[in-house]
Amino acid sequence: MINNITAPIKPHAPARTHAPVVPARTTHHKSTPPPFKRSFSEAPIAVPQFIPTSPAQDSIRIIPLGGVEEVGKNMTLVEFRDEIVIIDAGFQFPGEEAPGVDYIIPDTTYLQKKKHMIKGIFITHGHLDHTGGIPYVMDKLGNPPIYAPLLASVMIKKRQDEFPHLAPLKLHVVEKDSKLNVGKHLSVRFFNVTHTIPDAMGVMVETPYGNLIFTGDLKIDHDNGVPLEHEMKTFEEVGKSNNLFLAGDSTNVERAGWSFSERAVHENLKKIITETKGRLIMGTFASLLERVIFVINTAEEIGKKVLLRGRSMKNNVAIAIEVGMLKVKPTTLITPEEAESLPPGKVIILATGAQGEELAALMRMATKKDKHLKMTKSDTVLLSSSIIPGNERSVQKLKDNIARQGAKIIHYRIADVHSSGHANHDEMLWIHKMIKAKFFMPLHGYHYMHRLHAEIAKEAGLTDENIVIPDNGMIIDIIEGGKKIVVQKDMAPAGVVMVDGLGTGDVKDVVIRDRQLLAEDGMFVIIGTIDIKTGKLRQSPDIISRGFIYLKESQDLLRQTRFLIKKTIEDTTAEMHPVNFDYVKNHLRDKIGKFLFQKTKKRPMILPVLIEV
């Protein structure tokens, strides 16, 4: 069944200044990022001059545009004859290599040249690494229809409301076992999978030569390594088909055995909720919606109240109520004022910020910056999430701040209060054996994970010739009517496309490089007023330093620097009529740069501003 969701869902001057020319730096920075493409723009976007070749008439083309070599930014396309379908359109949060950048999204250059062929974007589930790129790519792709499960559809629509200037989405709700004939050659089916968010689905693209299976993010619901009945039923049904190709989740394949069951997590959480005498503060990801729903339902069963803290937590719970996945009495969810008037043992706080984010709800409570809620010695803080690599120090800081308030801490390393939403080694092996695909490509994860997943595929009976380890932009063709899989020499563009600030204009590599330099050694601004008749400074130059030296404690260095600035400018302009200001600035930048490095061993960005009078 397919429902349209285009409408809102109801429940059920005189002086001339020579501005500085920022220099190109070649040796100091650690590394130069890859070329960056245009991010998001309200103005029409010029499509780069890239002319993609088309697959042969009997070939099926698969191109991962994101989600391989990385975690996040998931987007894969399937092309057959004159039809294209797209699986997911996510984004990725940038690391320290891209300061000031909001998101990284897939490079859609290949698709922009073929947007007339796009039959739809098919979403596996509502997490932002699979849906977050939608506002930034739809205009480029001609605003094709989007097909998604109900929960994901509502989450997509609510986020799209933050972009009122964009054209309305052609958003359709699909249910499990839905089948869409999207064109003359391709059909798409959905099937249920287990993940940390309800309504997660796998996607099957049906072609004349066999089916292409995209698992999305998934794990197997099991009891001591024995899949439960609903999992057996789903994958037995999928396995009956003529499955030509499998693209499978690789995020947790390096972990042995079977993943810890979410049902077991729920049992442990219920025990903690029931037995905790004081106030319980639970920090977790708002995206772990199935767990959040369980905690709220459990609290209501035993007569406790729930306070939601954090914007994303409130939004996701509101969406779960809107679509009917959470049915809760209005009196169960309370305000901070109501929480203060209740006995502590009757209150559960569900908060964002379990990764130690400075401005998140949990850290504000732990540092006494929340105007309503302060942690006390009688509180129990439950961190129901694992530590994302790179967040170890921030999580430790969070724990330290909680401990300073005297609260008890429970986390996943001392109790089974968290389970990943991704399948371990033995689960993926079971999935391979059930689906019985002829060809395989790992998705979702770093290259090392993909290599490990390839070994699992070989355990299941595949040969090296039928396995492709992908890179972003790799063009993979299944040729000769489904008989052989090949990797083309050409690559689809797969540059790093960034959404920055207000989301308008280009984020070029030089911009990112300059931000990195500013973060490392700061900036040093020289402001000088030059008499164009004599070429001499009218007064001592002004100096502004940010992130380089503390001026009040560096007076001797500043005195020497001012003397060198004056001498360099006047020596350079002595025989120069008229004065070439660009030449003077470049010469000044080189001289002062060398001098400051000799004195400080730092290379600040030097910006000369010369004013002629």
Catalytic residue, chosen from 222, 418, 422, 450, is 422
Q: Three-state DSSP class for 341?
A: helix
Match 């439960």 to its residue by tokens: 228
Burial 443-482 (b: 16+ CB within 10 A, else e): bbbeeebbebbbebbeebebeeebbbbbebbbbbbbbeeb
Distance, CA of 81 to chain centre:
32
Which ranges of 95-168 does DSSP label H, i.e. alpha helix? 109-112, 128-131, 134-137, 150-160
Q: What angle do CA 150, 151, 157 make, to 5 degrees?
A: 90
Which of 232, 302, 300, 223 is closest to 259 using CA atoms?
223
Distance CA(240)–CA(189), nearest Å, equals 14
CB 133 within 8 A of CB 90: yes
Torsion, Cα 44 48 53 57, to 10 degrees, reads -10
- Sorted by sequence, the CB contacts under 8 Å of residue 195 that are 6+ apart come out as 125, 216, 217, 218, 219, 421
CB 407 within 8 A of CB 281: yes
Could you confirm whether 165 is annotated as catalytic?
Answer: no
Distance, CA of 70 to chain centre:
10
Q: What letter does residue 92 receive in the DSSP assignment?
A: B
Distance CA(324)–CA(283), nearest Å, equals 24
Q: What tokens appear for 3 in the block?
A: 């429902």
What CA–CA distances, in Å, run from 86 to 118, 315, 422, 482, 534? 8, 27, 22, 20, 66
Q: What letter does residue 553 receive in the DSSP assignment?
A: G
Distance CA(155)–CA(127), nearest Å, equals 9
Match 């959470």 to its residue by tokens: 326
Work out the burial of residue 167: count CB atoms within 10 Å of its CB; fewer than 13 is exposed, 13-18 middle, 19 or more buried.
exposed
- The DSSP bridge pattern shows strands 523-530 and 542-546 to be antiparallel
Distance CA(291)–CA(276), nearest Å, equals 18
Could you confirm whether 422 is annotated as catalytic?
Answer: yes
Distance CA(257)–CA(456), nearest Å, equals 12
Distance, CA of 471 to chain centre:
18
Catalytic residue, chosen from 102, 249, 500, 514, is 249
Q: What letter does residue 371 receive in the DSSP assignment?
A: S
Distance CA(257)–CA(439), nearest Å, equals 24
- Sorted by sequence, the CB contacts under 8 Å of residue 603 that are 6+ apart come out as 25, 28, 517, 521, 593, 596, 597
Distance CA(143)–CA(300), nearest Å, equals 43
- Sorted by sequence, the CB contacts under 8 Å of residue 554 that are 6+ apart come out as 545
- Sorted by sequence, the CB contacts under 8 Å of residue 161 that are 6+ apart come out as none
Which of 75, 60, 47, 48 is closest to 132 using CA atoms?
75
Q: Which residues are catalytic?
A: 249, 422
